[in-house]
Amino acid sequence: MAQDFIVPIEMQTVNTATIGAGAFTAIGNPLAGALSFIRITNTSNTAVIISYDGVTDHEYVEASGGRIETYFQINAIPANYVSKLRKGTVLYVRGTAGIGLVYISGYYNG
């Protein structure tokens, strides 16, 4: 049965000291729910590339507070259909090792 409330995922983080430019590093665990909203924040001193599949470059997030926010439901077509980021998705990051963290936060219907 569909629920009428929003649940936050547990915040996921990765320390940019552990990443490299050649291969993607997973950020935390698979997503706990099908997200209707996601925020990726980079507080490190190095820009990063985000991937939703661990292979393809999908997002660029600037250093020192760069942020990307996506509201998946506003992209829904046709009317009355809901678009979400799939439950269980693992996000990945790559870039030059730096100092600081990349954060993933988001919300899904509980």
Domains of the chain: 6-109 (2.60.120)
pTM: 0.89
Per-residue pLDDT tens digits for 6-48 = 999 999 999 999 999 999 999 999 999 999 999 999 999 999 9
Handedness of CA 84, 33, 68, 60 (dihedral sign): negative
Q: Please say whether the beta carbons of 6 and 109 come within 8 A.
A: yes
Tell me the backbone φ, ψ of residue 22, rounded to 5 degrees.
-85, -30
pLDDT of res. 80:
66
Structure tokens given for 1: 């049965």
